[in-house]
Structure 1
Amino acid sequence: MRNVRQYTIEQFFSTFSIMNSSFSHDERLILYTSSQTGIFNAFAVPVSGGTPRQLTRSKAMAIYAVSYFPYDDRILFVRDCYGDENHHLYVLESEGRERDLTPGIGVKAKFLGWSHDGLHFYYQTNERDPRFFDIYRMSVAGLDRTLIFQDTEGLNFHSVSPDENHIVFGKDMTRANCDIYLLSKQSGHMRHLTPHVGEIIFRPASFEIDSQSLYYLTDEDNEFSYIARIELSTGKQSVVFRAPGNVFAFVPSAGGKYSTVLVDDEGQKKISIYDHQSGEPIALPSFPKGDISSAVISKSEQLLAFYVNGDRSPNKLFVYEFAIGTARKLVESLSAEIDSDGLVESRRVSYHSFDGLTIPAFLWKPHQASAGNKVPALIWLHGGPGGQTRKGYSPRIQYLVNNGYAVLGVNYRGSSGYGKTFLAADERKHGREPLWDCVEAKKFLASLDYIDTSKIGVIGASFGGYMVLAALAFTPEEFACGVDLFGISNWVRMIESFPPYWSPHLEFYYKKMGHPVADQDLLRALSPAFHADKIIKPLMVVQGANDPRVLRAEADEIVEAVRKKNGTVEYMVFPDEGHGLTKKTNRVTAYDSIVKFLDRHLRGLESNAPTDNGSHS
C-alpha cells in the first residue's frame, strides 16, 4: 500500500481529449479536435511547435475537425444538434465564416475523402431518403456538387480509386459476413468481388496507388482478420499481411512510399509503418508510458502526425520527421495538476467462466489497496454488442480508482479482438451467457486478497448499460449496486425505433438479438424492462434526452418500474446530450454523482444526498 494523492473530479476532467489530425497544404500546421474549452472544437498547432490556435468557438454543440483543404487554408468540420447524431458537413473559410454544405432537418452527412488530385472531395448524405446514403462529389473551387451514386441497397461507400474510374463499396449482411462490390464509373457495372459461402468477413481497405489492385480485410480460413490484395483485371488474390490479432486498417501513403497498419492485439491498439514496396518496418520512437494510437502521413511523405496514449497518459500529439528520425511533442492533454506517476496502470488478467471458456479482462488496482486495506470493486462493462475494453487512458476509470475502487474491465463473450469464434459466442444469448461471464468475474475478484467481496458493483454505458440492468434484474443477489449510462432496457422497442438509416443493417440485429415480431418472446425475456420487479439492489441511471440510439423512454421506463416496487433508483437526464456526454460540465456533474452514489451503497457513506430529479440542466 502507498499513500495516494486524491484528485477532484474537476481536476480529472481538466485533462482534455484530443483526436484526429490533418496537415495543412503547406505542411506547417496540423488540424485536430480538442475539448480543452469544455466542449469539442477545432484547433491548429504549428508543426514546428508553439501555442495551438482555436479555429471554431462553439460553446453549446460539439465540433469535430475533419480536414484541411489540399491547396488552401479552409477546413472541413462536422457538427450535430445537441447529440442527435445528425451530423452536417461544414466548411470554415479562411476569414472565419462557416457554411453548412449539407443543410436540412433530419439530414445526416459524412465526409468520405479527397480525390487523388485534391480538386474534389466526396461525401454522403441521406437527404433524398432517410434510409440510404447517396454519394456526392464536390468541387474544391466552387463547392458545386454532382451526384455520383444513388444507393437503394444499404451499401457502405469506402473509397474512389486514385484514377477515379472505380468506387469500392462494402456490404454487411451480418457482423461476421461482409462483401465487397466494385462499381465502374464508366460502364455503371457493379462487380461482386468476393462471392463466398458461409460467414466470412471481406471489407475494403484501400486501393493501390496505381488503381490496379485493391487491398482488403478478411478472416477467411482464420480466427483473425488479415490483409489481402486482389488484382482488379485478373481477380488474382494474395495474402499481404498477417498479425497475431485482428488487423483492422491498412493505409498506403499518398505517394505510395509507406503503408500504415493497425492491429488489435488483445485489447491493445498497435500501429506500425512499413516501406510500402519492400515491406520492411520503419523504426519509430518508443514511449515508456504509452503506445502510438493513430497516425497520419503528410502528402509529401516527409512527416508523420501521431498520438501516444497509455493507461496513465491521455493522448499526446507528436510529429515525426522521417528524414532525421526525430519526434516532437506538439500538444499535451494531461492536466498539469495531475501527476501521471500517481495514476494506475492496468494489468491483463483472465479467468475461466462457468463453462470453462477463458474470459480476458483488464484490472486496475488502487495504490492504496492491500490485504490489510480491502477496497470495493466495480465490474466495468463495455458497449457494443461486439465492443471491447482496451488499454488506454480513461479519466472515468482513473477517477474511480483514485477514489479507492478496484476496476475490472471484462471482455465477456461476444467482445471483439479475441477471434471470430469468441465474437460470435453471444448470439441470442444476451442476458444469459455473457452475463454469467460477469458473475464469474465477481468470483475472480473475490480471489484477490485486497477486494472486499461484499462490495462489488457493476457499471457500464450503452450496451454495457444494458448489461448492468440485466445483472440487477436477472442475477439480483449477485451485485451490491449498479450504474447504467444510456443502457437499453427494452429490446423490442429498441430495435423497432432504430433511426431510418439503420434499416439496411437490421439483419445484423435480427441475427444477433432477434426479430421484434418473430422473436418477441425471446427479446422480452432478455429485456430488463419486463423484469424490473426483480431489481432489489440500488440503481443509478444516466441518460441523454436527445439520444437517437437508446431513446429516453428506455431510461424512463426502467426508472418508473423500479420506483413502483419501491426500489432504490437515482436518475439523471441531461437535456443537451445524446448517446454520451460531450460537455465537460456534464461529465463532471455525472461522475461526481456516480462516485457519491457508489460511496453511499458500497461504502455506507451517507453524507451526500442522492440524485433523484429525473433531469439535469
Structure 2
Amino acid sequence: MRLIHRAARLTALALLLQCAFAPMSSQAASVARSVQKTPKKYSIEQFMATTSISGASFSHDEKNILFSSNESGIFNVYSIPVGGGKPVALTKSTVDSHYAVSYFRHDDRILFTRDKGGDEQNHLFVRELDGTEKDLTPGEKLKAAFAGWSQDGKAFYVQSNERDPKYFDLYRYDAKTYERSLLYKTESSLRPVDVSRDGKWIALDKPNTTADSDIYLYNVASQETKHITPHQGTASYNTATFDPASSKLFFTSNDGGEFTSLRSYDLASGKVSEHEKARWDVMGTDFSHNGRFRVTAINQDGTIVQRIVEGAQEKPLVLPKLQGGEMRGATFSDSGNLLAFYVNGDRSPNNLFVYDLRSKKLNQLTQSLNKEIDANDLVEAEVVRFKSFDGVEIPSIFLKPKGASLTNKVPAVVFVHGGPGGQTRRGYNPLFQYLANKGYAVLGINNRGSSGYGKTFYTADDGKHGREPLWDCVEAKTYLASLGYIDPDRIGIMGGSYGGYMTLAALAFRPEAFKVGIDIFGVSNWVRTLESIPPYWEAQRKALYAEIGDPVKDKEFLIETSPLFHAKHIRKPLMVIQGKNDPRVIKPESDEIVEAVKKNQVPVEYVVFDDEGHGFSKKKNQIEANGKMVEFLDKYLKPGLPAAK
C-alpha cells in the first residue's frame, strides 16, 4: 500500500504506461506533408469543450470504474461500466471541484476529496450507499489526504495536519465505523510515505535538500525508527513501495550515479539490491493488489516509458498496441484480471480504456476530444535541444504550427514550467495546441534545474535563480530565431508559478530579450514568498531555503533576484493572471508587480479569478484565461492582425 501524499518537488511515481509506435518512413512523411490541408482554426471555447478526465478505481465487483471529469464545467466524480456505457455523476457540484479517490473495497461507497475555491485545504469525504456525504476530516484550516487501503480492505489510511499545521500525522480508519486511531505522529521532517501490507512497517522519507534525501523505517510495534540510507555526498533516496510479502522495501536512488535506479532493502538482513537501471531516471515501481504484476516508470527524455512484468520470473506483460499516444495511469483490479489505463498523446487528451487479461478484449470507455476538433489539425510535439551560453545542452518540447515556413514566418513563445525542478513533457496540452492552432510556435523549455536529465543538470540552478536558468531562456530565443521560420522580432515568454517568476525575471533583468511576457501566478518577491509558504511545507522549508535562499540570511541576494525590486526596468507589455485563493504564490505577489510596472507607462493587463487558487480548475475560467492570453499575444506579437476568437 503506497501513500498518496507527496511533498512538492520530490519525485513521485506516476503509474504510466507507454505504447510504442512505428515511425513514419521519410517517404511517407514527405507525401503526407505534400497533401496536408490547411488546418481549421478553432475557438478557445471549442478547445475547452474537450473533457479532462483522471483517476481510476475499480468497484468491489469489478463492474465499474470511478474517475474524475470536468464534463459539467467543473470536476465531479463519475462511475462508468467497464464494458462501456454512459458515465453516471456521483457528485454534482457547481461550485468546488470534486475529485475521485477510491471505491470501498467491499461495497459501492466511494471516497472523494475537495477544497474550497482552490485553497488546497482538502478534506476527505465518503459518499454513502444512499447518496449522502460525510466529511471524514472535519475542522477548519486543515489539509487531509487519503493514504491507501489496508491489505484486507477493512481499513484505510489518512494523513492530516489537524494537530499541527506543519506536520502530517498518519491515521488508520475503520472502513465500517470510520473510527480512527493514530498510527504515526509526525514531529519532524520525516514524512510517512508507505505502510507495509502486514501493517508492521512504515517507510519515512526525509528531504535534506531538494536533491538530497533519506529513508527511515518505523517499526509500528516497537515504535523504533531506523535510518537505512546513510550516504556521503548528494544523493536522493525516495520510497517506492513495500513488496507484497512485506519483506522488502523498494526505493529509487541516484547514489553513485547521475540517474535514479530501482533498488530494494531487505527488512530482515538489511541487504540492498539493485533491480532496474536505465540511462534515464527510474521514477518508481508498484505492485498490483494480488502481487502478480509489478509496474515501473522511467522518465525517458520527456516521455514516460513503462515496464510491466508478471510473476516471480518478471516476464514482460504483452499489451495491445494502441494509436494516439502513450498509456498512463495504470490500475489493476483486485483480482488482477482487468487493467484500466489512459491513453494520452500530443494530439489526444486522456481517454479511459479497460483491458481484460483473460479474453484479451480492449474497451475504450471515453472520447474526450471535442467532436468538432479534427485531431489532424493539431500539432505533434518533438524533443529538441540547443546549446546555451556556456555550452550546456538544453532539452525542450517544441510545437511547430502548421504552415510555418521560410516564406511564412510565425511568432513564438518560450514557455517555462513550474518548480523549480519541474519538467515539460510530451502529452496533450490544450494551451499549447490552442497557441499552435493560432499560428504560434511553442518551445516548452527544460532549463537547467529541470528534473529528468540527471543529478548534475537538476542541481545546476541551485543558488542561481534569476541568472543561469534565465539565461537559458534567453538562449532559447536565439535558438528559435535560428530556425528560419520564426520571426526573431516576435518572440515572447510566458509561464506559471516558477515559470511566472522566470517571465518577470526575463522582462526585468533582460528587458531587451522578449517582446512580451505573460506571468501566470508567478513569484515577484522571493523574500515574501519564502516567508509565506504554507505551514504544511515545513518538511521542505530548509530544502527550499538551501536552493533558492534563506529570507533572513540571504535577504540581499533574494532582493537582487526578485523582479519586484527591479520593476522599473520592465518596459515590455505584461499580462498577469492570478487566483485569489492561491496559498503558494499569494495574491500580493501579483498585485504589487502590476502596480509597479504600470508606473512605467507600460501596457499591463491583470486578470484575477476569485474562485481559483494555484491553477484553474473551472472551464469558464480556463476559457477566459487562455482566451485573454492569446488575445494579448495577438495584440503585441501580431500587430495589424485581428485578435483570435
* Category of TM-score, reference length = shorter chain: over 0.9
Distance 1:173 1:286 in 2: 42
The answer to whether 1:373 aligns with 2:380 is: no
1:566 Cα deviation after fit? 1.5
1:191 Cα deviation after fit? 1.1
1:606 Cα deviation after fit? 7.5
Residue range with higher mean Cα deviation, 74-83 or 247-256: 247-256
Residue range with higher mean Cα deviation, 186-195 or 527-536: 186-195
Which of 98, 117, 131 aligns to 2:166? It is 131
2:38 alignment counterpart: 3
1:148 Cα deviation after fit? 1.2
| 1:254-333 alignment runs, 5 A limit | 254-333=289-368
Distance 1:515 1:2 in 2: 55
For residues 150-182 of structure 1, the C-alpha deviation after alignment (integer angstroms, 9 at most, x for no partner) is 110032211211111111111111121111111
Equivalent position amino acid for 1:237 in 2: V
Distance 2:615 2:108 in 1: 32
Equivalent position amino acid for 2:519 in 1: D
1:325 Cα deviation after fit? 2.6
Equivalent position amino acid for 1:56 in 2: T
Equivalent position amino acid for 1:292 in 2: M
Equivalent position amino acid for 1:164 in 2: G
Which of 420, 424, 427 aligns to 2:455? It is 420
1:100 alignment counterpart: 135
Equivalent position amino acid for 1:110 in 2: A
Q: Secondary structure at the match of 1:596?
A: helix
1:608 Cα deviation after fit? 6.3
Q: Do the aligned residues in 2 keep the contact of 1:270 with 1:293 (CA within 8 Å)?
A: no
Which of 146, 149, 162 aligns to 1:114? It is 149
Q: Do the aligned residues in 1 keep the contact of 2:346 with 2:379 (CA within 8 Å)?
A: yes
The answer to whether 1:336 aligns with 2:371 is: yes
2:604 alignment counterpart: 569
Q: Do the aligned residues in 2 keep the contact of 1:4 with 1:342 (CA within 8 Å)?
A: yes
1:243 Cα deviation after fit? 2.1
Equivalent position amino acid for 2:560 in 1: A
1:102 Cα deviation after fit? 0.6
Which of 320, 338, 345 aligns to 2:380? It is 345
Equivalent position amino acid for 1:576 in 2: D
**Identical-pair percentage:** 50
Which of 605, 620, 626 aligns to 1:585? It is 620
The answer to whether 1:545 aligns with 2:580 is: yes
Q: Which has the higher contact order (CA 8 A, sep 6+)?
A: 2
2:8 alignment counterpart: none
2:23 alignment counterpart: none
Distance 1:296 1:462 in 2: 31
Equivalent position amino acid for 1:18 in 2: I
Cα gap change, 1:605 to 1:446, in 2 (>3 Å): same
Distance 1:169 1:370 in 2: 54
The answer to whether 1:148 aligns with 2:192 is: no
Q: Secondary structure at the match of 1:127?
A: strand
Q: Do the aligned residues in 2 keep the contact of 1:271 with 1:294 (CA within 8 Å)?
A: no
Q: Secondary structure at the match of 1:128?
A: strand
Which of 207, 210, 215 aligns to 2:245? It is 210
Q: Secondary structure at the match of 2:365?
A: strand
2:425 alignment counterpart: 390
Distance 2:326 2:101 in 1: 23
Distance 2:170 2:420 in 1: 28
Equivalent position amino acid for 1:99 in 2: K
Cα gap change, 1:608 to 1:292, in 2 (>3 Å): closer
1:615 alignment counterpart: none
| 1:525-536 alignment runs, 5 A limit | 525-536=560-571
Distance 1:605 1:41 in 2: 42
1:184 alignment counterpart: 219
Residue range with higher mean Cα deviation, 207-216 or 569-578: 207-216
Q: Do the aligned residues in 1 keep the contact of 2:344 with 2:428 (CA within 8 Å)?
A: yes
1:2 Cα deviation after fit? 4.6
1:425 Cα deviation after fit? 0.4
The answer to whether 1:403 aligns with 2:438 is: yes
The answer to whether 1:231 aligns with 2:231 is: no
Q: Which consecutive residues of structure 2, in runs of 5 or more, have no partner in the other structure?
A: 1-35
Q: Do the aligned residues in 1 keep the contact of 2:351 with 2:368 (CA within 8 Å)?
A: yes
Distance 1:457 1:51 in 2: 43
The answer to whether 1:361 aligns with 2:361 is: no
1:504 Cα deviation after fit? 2.3
Which of 100, 113, 120 aligns to 1:65? It is 100
Equivalent position amino acid for 2:287 in 1: P
The answer to whether 1:197 aligns with 2:232 is: yes
Q: Do the aligned residues in 1 keep the contact of 2:210 with 2:544 (CA within 8 Å)?
A: no
Q: Secondary structure at the match of 1:426?
A: coil
1:568 Cα deviation after fit? 1.4
Equivalent position amino acid for 1:399 in 2: Y
The answer to whether 1:515 aligns with 2:588 is: no
1:453 alignment counterpart: 488
1:43 alignment counterpart: 78
1:558 alignment counterpart: 593
Cα gap change, 1:90 to 1:64, in 2 (>3 Å): same
Which of 63, 88, 91 aligns to 1:56? It is 91
Q: Secondary structure at the match of 1:191?
A: strand
Q: Do the aligned residues in 1 keep the contact of 2:212 with 2:234 (CA within 8 Å)?
A: yes
For residues 272-304 of structure 1, the C-alpha deviation after alignment (integer angstroms, 9 at most, x for no partner) is 211141122111122232011220111101111
For residues 109-149 of structure 1, the C-alpha deviation after alignment (integer angstroms, 9 at most, x for no partner) is 01100001110000011111111111110001111111111
Q: Do the aligned residues in 2 keep the contact of 1:157 with 1:170 (CA within 8 Å)?
A: yes
Equivalent position amino acid for 1:218 in 2: S
Distance 2:414 2:43 in 1: 22
Equivalent position amino acid for 2:237 in 1: F
Equivalent position amino acid for 1:73 in 2: D
2:531 alignment counterpart: 496
Distance 1:116 1:74 in 2: 18
Q: Secondary structure at the match of 2:62?
A: coil
Q: Secondary structure at the match of 2:391?
A: coil
Q: Secondary structure at the match of 1:16?
A: coil
Structure 1-normalised TM-score? 0.97
1:466 alignment counterpart: 501
Q: Which consecutive residues of structure 1, in runs of 5 or more, have no partner in the other structure?
A: 610-617
1:244 Cα deviation after fit? 2.4
Equivalent position amino acid for 2:250 in 1: Y
The answer to whether 1:29 aligns with 2:88 is: no
Equivalent position amino acid for 1:71 in 2: H
Q: Do the aligned residues in 2 keep the contact of 1:133 with 1:154 (CA within 8 Å)?
A: no
Equivalent position amino acid for 1:81 in 2: K
RMSD across aligned positions (CA): 1.2
Distance 1:192 1:259 in 2: 26
Equivalent position amino acid for 1:37 in 2: S
Distance 2:321 2:420 in 1: 33
Distance 2:643 2:403 in 1: 23
Q: Do the aligned residues in 2 keep the contact of 1:490 with 1:528 (CA within 8 Å)?
A: yes
The answer to whether 1:170 aligns with 2:199 is: no
2:31 alignment counterpart: none
Distance 2:455 2:643 in 1: 46
Distance 2:591 2:622 in 1: 20
Distance 2:554 2:87 in 1: 54
Distance 1:605 1:562 in 2: 25
Distance 1:277 1:48 in 2: 31
Q: Do the aligned residues in 2 keep the contact of 1:2 with 1:367 (CA within 8 Å)?
A: no
1:607 Cα deviation after fit? 5.9
Distance 1:403 1:58 in 2: 33
Residue range with higher mean Cα deviation, 540-549 or 564-573: 564-573
Equivalent position amino acid for 1:107 in 2: L
Equivalent position amino acid for 1:70 in 2: R
